[in-house]
Chains A and B, each alone.
Chain A
């Protein structure tokens, strides 16, 4: 497992990611955006390894620049005029800064979702939402199971056709063969689905009193995490409500100064955003201690 946080109860993961993404959208003060971006990148690198850095520089950073450019070139609000563009409109400092802030928010959201995709796998998602909508949850799980099944079947059909000498030759042979194989798989898939349905029915699908299996239980560590997150969320939300974290960029850039309350909230926010990393480090220390004892 890449991260101990992955082993937590799905509800813990959901609360954490929900909080982090909602806060990123609501707290657009540069300090808070910086904290969120740093922590999301750090966690994404921990989960996905070095390829994540490549993704950041080849995809996310250009995206940030692109959003900034779109806003700087098409929006003309603001009071600090820098120069006049070719179409007679003016380039303003405010539009560049607000564009960069928006771009940073886009990058942060995407990076947190990259972490989400690694941590909250299908089974966790289904555990969270499947109880309320059992049929839809069953549908999603069936779809996810059928995809590899069909791809395997396609490979088998292609091999069988090849060995039976049924493959056509000529100009578009590859496309033709692929089409024949796909057509066969589609027919097979549809008939197979009916067979599956009949099998499900004879095994008691839709009868009363059937439950679904779940392998997740709340451990003491999960409860501690939930309590810690609720306290942190309350403190950060209070900081926002009492107006210590304000930032507006249109028409004038106005940021809250470095008051003690702002720094206090920022510290709590940083702790919240780095929570999965702290959790991993704590687990690692405990493991190493246990390992050293034996």
Chain B
């Protein structure tokens, strides 16, 4: 199975589930079903990608380099345990995506968020964090992988900061909205988003700062490994 087939299956499955959710919500009053339904939709959307990863039988080298990047990301999150808004994790996922490709970036993001929550605690938010970080890796990989703008330090930092602020913040805060809101009016949703704004902003800024300082050095290291061992 190739990637496009997987993507099509994933989109169809997700659309069918969203339609089913809309139809059932007509019969079941109350918001109790929103959160489980959202989690179900996210997991179902990701399953085809996981299956394709399993079916492709990744080589040992690809597997271990992926694990290595994720482990560096997790360790960096653990290093700044005391400052919850400083998460170099996102910057490292972006670096992996930029130099190893969008698919690897997606899996690296999902994996590092999942594994790091064994240290920081799983919760209903885990699924949303995984999807959010995976999306950041995917988008950054699509923009930068194999292109010339990759070597631009400032562009990498600025776009990385914006994506981590907007995409990750947007997706993860959906989980707070689903958990906390009772009537899903616009003002309520905006209030909940506003309460997370400071956190998301500082997350975006620190990601940009780390990419600015360490991004190119890190990418060079990865390129060196790629050339030395002839992989990816």
Query: For A70, A122, A133, A187, which residue has the most chain B Cβ atoms within 10 angstroms?
Result: A70
Query: Which DSSP category, helix, strand, loop or mixed, fits chain B's interface?
Result: helix
B78–A147 CB distance below 8 A = yes
Interface string of B179-223 (1 = CB under 8 A from A): 111110101100110010000000000000000001001100110
Known: A75-B183, A193-B67, A200-B60. A70 touches B32 (CB 8 A): no
Instruction: Give Cα A144 to B78, complex, Å.
Output: 12
A193–B64 CB distance below 8 A = yes
B226 nearest CB across to chain A (Å): 10
A146–B187 CB distance below 8 A = no
A201 touches B (CB below 8 Å): yes
Known: A143-B70, A151-B75. A74 touches B185 (CB 8 A): yes
Candidates B71, B122, B191; contact of A74 at CB < 8 Å:
B191
A206–B36 CB distance below 8 A = no
A173 touches B (CB below 8 Å): no
Query: Which DSSP category, helix, strand, loop or mixed, fits chain A's interface?
Result: helix
Interface string of B63-77 (1 = CB under 8 A from A): 111111011101100
CB nearest neighbor in B for A98? B182
B225 touches A (CB below 8 Å): yes
A28 touches B (CB below 8 Å): yes
The interface stretch among B110-118, B132-140, B156-164 is B110-118
B64–A99 CB distance below 8 A = no
Interface string of A138-156 (1 = CB under 8 A from B): 1110111111011100000
Residues of A within 8 A of B217 (CB): 183
CB nearest neighbor in B for A122? B118
A148 nearest CB across to chain B (Å): 9
Instruction: Give Cα A105 to B181, complex, Å.
Output: 12
CB nearest neighbor in A for B47? A133
Instruction: Give Cα A186 to B217, complex, Å.
Output: 11
A160 touches B (CB below 8 Å): no
A67–B180 CB distance below 8 A = yes
Candidates A125, A136, A187; contact of B221 at CB < 8 Å:
A187
A248 nearest CB across to chain B (Å): 7
B111–A140 CB distance below 8 A = yes
Count, chain B residues at interface, CB 8 A: 54
Interface string of A179-222 (1 = CB under 8 A from B): 10001001101111110111011000110000000000000000
Instruction: Give Cα A106 to B178, complex, Å.
Output: 10
Residues of B within 8 A of A248 (CB): 29-30
The interface stretch among A107-115, A164-172, A260-268 is A107-115
A70–B58 CB distance below 8 A = no
Query: For A67, A193, A249, which residue has the most chain B Cβ atoms within 10 angstroms?
Result: A193
A36 touches B (CB below 8 Å): no
Instruction: Give Cα A28 to B33, complex, Å.
Output: 12
Q: Report B21-72 residues with CB < 8 Å from chain A CB.
A: 29-30, 32, 35-36, 50, 53-54, 57-61, 63-68, 70-72
A40 touches B (CB below 8 Å): no
Interface string of B93-110 (1 = CB under 8 A from A): 000000000000000000
A75–B68 CB distance below 8 A = no
A143–B54 CB distance below 8 A = no
B48 nearest CB across to chain A (Å): 13
A117 touches B (CB below 8 Å): yes
CB nearest neighbor in B for A139? B67
Known: A140-B111, A140-B115, A143-B111. A71 touches B180 (CB 8 A): yes
Can you list 29 contacts pairing A with B, beta carbon distance less than 8 Å? A25-B35, A70-B180, A71-B183, A71-B188, A74-B185, A99-B182, A102-B182, A113-B123, A114-B121, A116-B122, A136-B53, A139-B63, A140-B114, A142-B71, A143-B112, A146-B75, A147-B119, A149-B71, A150-B71, A150-B72, A183-B217, A190-B65, A192-B68, A193-B64, A193-B67, A197-B60, A206-B57, A206-B59, A248-B30
A residues touching B (Cβ–Cβ < 8 Å)?
21-22, 25-26, 28, 67, 70-71, 73-75, 77, 95, 98-99, 102-103, 105-106, 109-110, 113-114, 116-117, 122, 125, 133-136, 138-140, 142-147, 149-151, 179, 183, 186-187, 189-194, 196-198, 200-201, 205-206, 248-250
B residues touching A (Cβ–Cβ < 8 Å)?
29-30, 32, 35-36, 50, 53-54, 57-61, 63-68, 70-72, 74-75, 78-79, 111-112, 114-115, 118-119, 121-124, 179-183, 185, 187-188, 191-192, 195, 214, 217-218, 221-222, 225, 229
